[in-house]
Chains A and B, each alone.
Chain A
Amino acid sequence: MDHPIKRDHARFRKIIKGKIRDNLRRYVSQGQQIIPKGTDKFTVPMPSIDIPRFKFGDKQQGGTGQGQGEPGDPTQGQPDPNGQPGQGEAGEGEGQKELDVELSLEELARILGEELALPNIEPKGRKSLQSTTDKYTNIGTSGPDSLRHLRRTYKQALKRQISSDSYDPNNPTVVPIRRDFRYKSSQPKVELKNAAVVIYMMDVSGSMGDEQKEIVRTESFWINLWLKSQYKDIEIRYIIHDATAKEVDEQTFFRTRESGGTLISSAFNLCKSIIDADYPPSDWNIYPFHFSDGDNWSADDTKLCLDLLDNHILPASNQFCYGQVESRYGSGQFLKDLTARYGQGHDKITLSKIKNKEGILDSIKEFLGKGK
């Protein structure tokens, strides 16, 4: 049994997770606060939770110290030239002002899910993604010492001793020799999973400023988080476009800024060809996201976009999401066109208008709230 403090620790974790949930809006609107640590861990900085007490205000109090220096010299920040390096100072430290809370992807996603009341996604299609993992289910006669299977080794030694009549029941000593050693050995195992791909498309024309991109970046962070928690492995593809579209990596996606005009159809076309080439809809759960400020070059192009959506993208996708980020320059026309065509209640298309950073969380809820 674990020490009871593990329960106190679990309680503490529960409390801070509650705090993170309460402050989720703040974390989401200030996207950079959550720091990914490795692939499936995150560090969330949060103010230390303290039991409130009557105590003195910090700054007025002053104090006493020991060491060299003239009046006016700072007591912190500059290393004492004669100070001892390394060794920790004895005694108790002052209460820490900040806690760094480590959360796994699942925990963070659960917080998001609970706060936004997100339904779990019903994957479509069959489990088709094959992944092989090594499972230690076999016993072999060779291997590294660290994998030696003690029980099997001794069993083997016992067998040998009995068969060679060197086993004495009155003095049951079993001594394995080299030949008795048995090792755990691995066997590749194929697992089938639901496969999912997210295709982000973003308008990088001149009217999309840094603030707009920051919104898209934050939003995609949380969307990825949620989808990663729902599918074991997801692929993420990025497309940027102005009047032409190209596929880029994640870094480029958020950094590029072009000045050209906007032809949304170019992105939709590329999206279509990516799906056609790599992701047969029968095997994949496909999530295209498009972010723009709603400007499109011409009504003709918009018509082309709607065609592509109707005939290619929508049939292939679980859900198509369009997020319109408000900008000073954008007309916001594209959202109106989409709304006119599909209405708000369309099964496969989700439209969302993101006014500013505070609107991100609501928009995420709109995108993911359908459970598809």
Chain B
Amino acid sequence: MNRTRPITGELLALKNEIEGYAIEYGLDFFPQIFEVCDYDTINILAAQGGFPSRYPHWRFGMDYDQLSKGYAYGLQKIYEMVINTDPCYAYLLQANNWVDQKLVMAHVYGHNDFFKNNAWFSGTNRKMMDVMANHGTKIRRYMERYGQDAVETFVDRVLSLENLLDVNELFETPELRRRRRDSDDKIKEGDEGEFLVDDRSQALKAFMRTKSRAEKKDKVKEEDVAHHDSPEKPLLRPTRDILGFLMEHAPCEEWQSDIIACLREEAYYFLPQRITKIMNEGWASYWHSKIMTERALTSAEIIEFADKHAGVMQMGRQNINPYKVGIELYRDIEYRWNTGRFGKEYNECTDMKEKAAWDHNVGLGKAKIFELRKSHNDISFIDEFLTPDFCERQQLFTHKFNPRTGRNEIDTRDFNAIKQKLLMQLTNFGQPVIQVEDGNYKNRRELLLRHNHQGVDLDVNYAHETLKNLYGIWRRPVNLATAFEEKEVVFHFDGKEMKAIH
């Protein structure tokens, strides 16, 4: 099905031109492939997270529905999709005008460089297009064998827990895992083929693991095959990698473990993008702006570019716009390191006049931003580089809900409050911190999750529905310890009713 096609002619020439600028500026990227497609195709790609082939699921259909309507009503338009693969694929909308295409291409080279160089992306599978397609094939096959409804229900349940990830898993290697396991428990599981260091997909490895485990299970013929792991091998350290935990310990059929493994792999693939939103979009915007204004634009195109660029950079009052905050922060850092406005000497300078005119002309700006784009994520980026000056210039504020007026209102423009709020929003990519604490709670094989409450309650209705889905996987009562309205509470679901135990 050829819904996208490689660029040719003028666009190809434009690509070569822009790529030349990118190289000239020192960007370091994967081979870049551009393809063009119509708006319907770009809506499909966007609904599927950028990938042309995914497993069947109604949620993609829902997103597609919304995107198509948004486009038809003129509410939104997607100019481009770029995905983190090697070579790096990006899709351009055929109907974009010339300036748009230029802008988008320049923007894409920024993303591409970021994907390749940022450390948080180092563990991502760059052949993800194939992996996604394979997951699709597998899940489709499971649907043929076990029925669409059964498989879809299970996928729904797993997706319900998809946000319960451990960022540290991004740096997990089989080697590390093995070492920790050796030190953790003396009970060896025997040869599981896990010592192979290879580039097989995680899902495949997990699948092999469940297979070998299943074989062993047959041999041993345990009395209670369900939950076989939990009792004799208590959970040594609590884990936030809840999908990983369920994959290993939930009483699942082989196909079910495999589905958990597939969805977990996909979730971890997307995780680096969730924790570098500001940095990644800021970096791409910084470069499209630089390439366009210093190289690629003709004078006739300036107004059009400025118009588009301003639209993308629009400040958000309800949420910060990562494009805007990101690009401004990079520019601020570049300026500070060019002028030497950093370090002990500058910080301790008390002469306001001298400080305002500070320019030691050290010219470290470019090197600094190239360096920091390698190692930081959004949290460390904000934590290290946000300054009171910057907050004031960028008109940042915090807001909160005022129950008296029933609306969100600006709370304060205090630097520390803004920084704290931003960091809090970015902590754990904006998701509640929840970990598995006990797989044999009350010695009854119940599952206990603990929410590390940091001042904001969970949405109770959603929490209840999620627990029900978790129960569908664990098949024994599930518990969630959290705080609600300033009281400790354990939500308990036993398959029939939800109880709140104080």
Query: Residues of A with Cβ closer than 8 Å to B?
Result: 1, 3-15, 49-77, 80, 83-84, 86-91, 93-94, 96, 99
Question: Apart from A54-B163, A66-B320, A87-B314, what are 16 other A-B pairs with CB-CB below 8 Å?
Answer: A5-B48, A8-B60, A13-B61, A14-B58, A54-B164, A55-B458, A56-B432, A56-B458, A58-B401, A63-B408, A63-B425, A64-B422, A76-B408, A87-B308, A91-B281, A91-B322
Known A-B contacts A91-B322, A91-B323; the reply to A61 vs B432 at CB < 8 A is no
Contact in complex: B319, A63 (CB < 8 Å):
yes
Q: Which residue of B lies closest to A48 (CB)?
A: B62
Q: Could you list 21 examples of A-B contacts with CB < 8 Å?
A: A4-B53, A6-B61, A8-B64, A12-B61, A12-B62, A15-B58, A51-B156, A51-B159, A51-B162, A54-B163, A54-B463, A56-B457, A62-B401, A63-B421, A64-B421, A66-B320, A72-B409, A80-B317, A86-B311, A90-B313, A93-B76
Most buried by B among A9, A14, A51: A51
Q: In the A-B complex, list the 10 residue pairs whose CB atoms are closest, starting with the nearest.
A: A87-B311, A52-B465, A8-B61, A62-B400, A12-B61, A9-B61, A66-B315, A12-B58, A11-B58, A65-B317
What is the interface residue range for chain B against chain A?
35 or more
Contact in complex: B323, A12 (CB < 8 Å):
no
Q: Cα distance A12–B59 when bound, in Å?
A: 7
From B152, B162, B281, give the contact of A53 (CB < 8 A).
B162
Expressed in whole angstroms, the minimum distance between the Cβ of A37 and any Cβ of chain B is 13
- Please tell me if B246 contacts chain A, counting CB pairs below 8 Å: no
Contact in complex: B396, A64 (CB < 8 Å):
yes
Q: Cα distance A76–B41 when bound, in Å?
A: 33
Expressed in whole angstroms, the minimum distance between the Cβ of A234 and any Cβ of chain B is 31
Contact in complex: B409, A73 (CB < 8 Å):
yes
B225-233, B254-262, B411-419: which lies at the A interface?
B411-419
Within 347-401 of B, Cβ neighbours of A (below 8 Å) are at 394-401
Expressed in whole angstroms, the minimum distance between the Cβ of A76 and any Cβ of chain B is 6
Q: Which residue of A lies closest to B310 (CB)?
A: A84
Interface of B is mostly: mixed
Within 299-324 of B, Cβ neighbours of A (below 8 Å) are at 307-308, 310-324
From A49, A62, A65, A87, give the contact of B310 (CB < 8 A).
A87
A55 contact set on B, CB distance < 8 A: 163, 431-432, 458-459, 462
Contact in complex: A69, B410 (CB < 8 Å):
yes
Contact in complex: B409, A75 (CB < 8 Å):
yes
Expressed in whole angstroms, the minimum distance between the Cβ of A102 and any Cβ of chain B is 9
From B60, B307, B432, B480, give the contact of A87 (CB < 8 A).
B307
Q: Cα distance A89–B312 when bound, in Å?
A: 6
Expressed in whole angstroms, the minimum distance between the Cβ of B165 and any Cβ of chain A is 12
Known A-B contacts A5-B64, A52-B466; the reply to A62 vs B421 at CB < 8 A is yes
Contact in complex: A59, B401 (CB < 8 Å):
yes
Contact in complex: A65, B320 (CB < 8 Å):
yes
Known A-B contacts A1-B1, A90-B321; the reply to A66 vs B61 at CB < 8 A is no
Contact in complex: A71, B410 (CB < 8 Å):
yes
Q: Cα distance A362–B307 when bound, in Å?
A: 58
Expressed in whole angstroms, the minimum distance between the Cβ of B185 and any Cβ of chain A is 29
Expressed in whole angstroms, the minimum distance between the Cβ of B406 and any Cβ of chain A is 10
Q: Which residue of B lies closest to A96 (CB)?
A: B66
Query: Residues of B with Cβ closer than 8 Å to A?
Result: 1, 3, 41, 44, 47-48, 53, 56-62, 64-66, 75-77, 152, 156, 159-164, 281, 307-308, 310-325, 394-401, 403, 405, 407-413, 418, 421-422, 425, 431-432, 434, 451, 455-466, 468-469, 480
From B1, B64, B310, B459, give the contact of A58 (CB < 8 A).
B459
Q: Cα distance A74–B61 when bound, in Å?
A: 35
Known A-B contacts A57-B459, A87-B307; the reply to A71 vs B316 at CB < 8 A is no
Expressed in whole angstroms, the minimum distance between the Cβ of A331 and any Cβ of chain B is 46
Known A-B contacts A53-B466, A83-B314, A84-B310; the reply to A64 vs B456 at CB < 8 A is no
B65 contact set on A, CB distance < 8 A: 9, 12
Expressed in whole angstroms, the minimum distance between the Cβ of A50 and any Cβ of chain B is 8
Q: Cα distance A303–B308 when bound, in Å?
A: 78
A11 contact set on B, CB distance < 8 A: 56-58, 61, 152
Expressed in whole angstroms, the minimum distance between the Cβ of A13 and any Cβ of chain B is 7
Q: Which residue of A lies closest to B48 (CB)?
A: A5
Contact in complex: B421, A57 (CB < 8 Å):
no
From A51, A57, A66, give the contact of B316 (CB < 8 A).
A66
Q: Which residue of A lies closest to B158 (CB)?
A: A51
Contact in complex: A52, B469 (CB < 8 Å):
yes
Q: Cα distance A65–B14 when bound, in Å?
A: 37
Expressed in whole angstroms, the minimum distance between the Cβ of B64 and any Cβ of chain A is 5
Contact in complex: B408, A66 (CB < 8 Å):
no
Contact in complex: B457, A91 (CB < 8 Å):
no
A88 contact set on B, CB distance < 8 A: 75-77, 311
From B162, B316, B407, B422, give the contact of A77 (CB < 8 A).
B407
Contact in complex: B411, A70 (CB < 8 Å):
no
Contact in complex: A56, B456 (CB < 8 Å):
yes
Q: Which residue of B lies closest to A51 (CB)?
A: B159
B398 contact set on A, CB distance < 8 A: 62-65
Known A-B contacts A3-B3, A83-B314; the reply to A65 vs B319 at CB < 8 A is yes
Q: Cα distance A58–B322 when bound, in Å?
A: 20
Contact in complex: A76, B407 (CB < 8 Å):
yes
B64 contact set on A, CB distance < 8 A: 5, 8-9
Contact in complex: A54, B432 (CB < 8 Å):
yes
Most buried by B among A12, A14, A66, A88: A66
Contact in complex: B456, A63 (CB < 8 Å):
no
From B58, B318, B322, B459, give the contact of A65 (CB < 8 A).
B318
A96 contact set on B, CB distance < 8 A: 66
Q: Cα distance A52–B57 when bound, in Å?
A: 15
Most buried by A among B47, B57, B408, B422: B408
Most buried by A among B397, B411, B461, B463: B397
